[in-house]
Amino acid sequence: MGKRRRKLTPTQLRAYLATVRGGSLKAAAADLDVTEPAISLHIAHLRKELGDRLFARTASGLAFTPGGLRLASRAAELLGLQSRTILEVSQAASGRRLLRMAASSLFAEYAAPGLIELFAGRADDLDVELSVLNPQDFAAQLSSRAVDVALGPPPATLDSSLSCTPFLNYQMVAVVAAGHPLAGGRVGQAELRGQTWLLGPSAVGRLGMVPTVLRRLGVPESNQQIFQSHAAAVEEAKHGRGIALSVAFAVSKDLAAGVLAQVTGPSLPARGSWNVFTLRDRDAPPPAAELARFVTTPRATQAMLRGAGVTAGRFKPAIHVTLWS
C-alpha cells in the first residue's frame, strides 16, 4: 500500500497561522472571529496529519518545534498564493492586471506618485495598489506574496529569496523657518539634540535615513513630534515650531524662495538610497519584474524627482492606497 496522502485545508492553515501570529489560541480565535475550540480542533487535525506536535505552551508563550516553524512559513506562503490566485483570476476575468506595491512612508509620499502615474499609464490594463509599510516588514510581505514589489531603504540584511536593486540616491536635509535662530548656520550635536524635531511617519522604526539621523544625533523621544505626513511636518517648520527633516528635492523651491532655511551639522545633510525588492526573478509576478526594470530608467527617475507629486485622487490609472500598521 502507498503512503496515505495528508490533507491540509486552507481553513486549518489559516487557524495555525493566526495562532503563530497571535501567540495563543485565544488570540487566533479573536482574530478569525471563531471560537477557541474551533481553533483547537484545526490545530489537533494538523498535528495528527503531520505527526508533529508543532508547538507547546510555556510560561512565556508558545514554543515551536522545527516542523512547526516550517509549517508557519509554508502556511503564510500558501495562503498568500491562494489569495493572489483568486485576485489574478478575478482580474483576468475583467481583462485587467493588478500590481500590489508596498513602499516606505517617505518614498510613498514623495517619489511613488510620479512613478506610479508614469508606469501605470503605460498600460491600459494595469491597476496599482499601493500599501504603506514599515520597511522591516518588506521581506515577510513579499515572501507570503501579500505584495508583489516593495520600494524603500536598504535592509540591514537581505533575505536570500529576495532580489534588491538600488535605483535612486537622495539627500535628507534639516530645515527651519527663515527667521529661526538656527537658520543657515552650522549647529553642534548638543544643540541639535535639544531642539524640537518635526517628523513624518518614517521616523517610526529603525530602517531608513530619518531614524538613522535621529539615532546619530541622539535626539530623545521627548523632543520628537511625529505627524501624519512629512509635508505636514515641514509645514510646521515653516511656522517656526522646530526642525523638520525632508528629502532635498521636495523642499528645493521653498529653500530657493527663502521660505525655509537649511541647518547643517553632524550627520546633516545625510545621504540615503531607495531600493526595489522582489522575489527572485523566476518567482516575481511579471508586472513586478517589469517595474523593477523600469524604476532604474531615466524617465522613471525624472518622474520621481518632480517634487511632492500629486495626490492619489488625481492619478489617471486606478490607484488603491492601503495603510498597513
* CA nearest neighbour of 64 among 79, 78, 43, 48: 43
* CATH for 153: 3.40.190.10
16-57: pLDDT as tens digits: 988 888 888 898 899 898 999 999 999 999 999 898 888 888
Same domain, 28 and 63: yes
3-state SS string over 84-133?
Answer: HHHHHHHHHHCCCEEEEEEECHHHHHHCHHHHHHHHHCCCCCEEEEEEEC
Say which range, 6-10, 15-19, 85-89, 214-218, has the weakest mean pLDDT: 85-89
pLDDT at 3 over 60: no
Same domain, 20 and 151: no
127 belongs to a structural domain: yes
Query: Cβ(13)–Cβ(68) under 8 Å?
Result: no
Same domain, 178 and 310: no
Q: Is the N-terminal amide bond of 317 cis, ω within 30° of 0?
A: no
Per-residue confidence (pLDDT) for residue 55, from 0 to 100: 86
Find cell 527663502 and name the residue. Answer: 258
Same domain, 40 and 104: no
Q: Identify the three-state secondary structure at position 320.
A: strand
21 belongs to a structural domain: yes
Same domain, 243 and 115: no
316 belongs to a structural domain: yes
* CA nearest neighbour of 163 among 171, 146, 151, 181: 151
Q: Rounded mean pLDDT of 183-209? A: 88
166-192: pLDDT as tens digits: 999 999 999 999 989 998 878 899 999
106-142: pLDDT as tens digits: 999 999 989 998 888 887 778 888 888 888 888 888 8
Same domain, 241 and 283: no
Per-residue confidence (pLDDT) for residue 90, from 0 to 100: 67
Same domain, 264 and 203: yes
**Distances from the Cα of 55 to the Cαs of 41, 45, 50, 159, 207, in angstroms?**
15, 14, 13, 25, 32
Q: Rounded mean pLDDT of 212-235? A: 90
Same domain, 297 and 161: yes
Same domain, 250 and 263: yes
211 belongs to a structural domain: yes
3 belongs to a structural domain: no
Per-residue confidence (pLDDT) for residue 319, from 0 to 100: 36
Task: Name the domain boundary from 78, 113, 135.
Answer: 78
Residue with more model confidence, 186 or 77: 186
What is the domain extent for residue 108? 81-168+274-323
Same domain, 235 and 204: yes
Per-residue confidence (pLDDT) for residue 6, from 0 to 100: 65
* CATH for 40: 1.10.10.10
Task: Name the domain boundary from 32, 48, 78.
Answer: 78
Per-residue confidence (pLDDT) for residue 29, from 0 to 100: 92
Please state the domain count of the chain.
Answer: 3
Find cell 505626513 and name the residue. Answer: 229
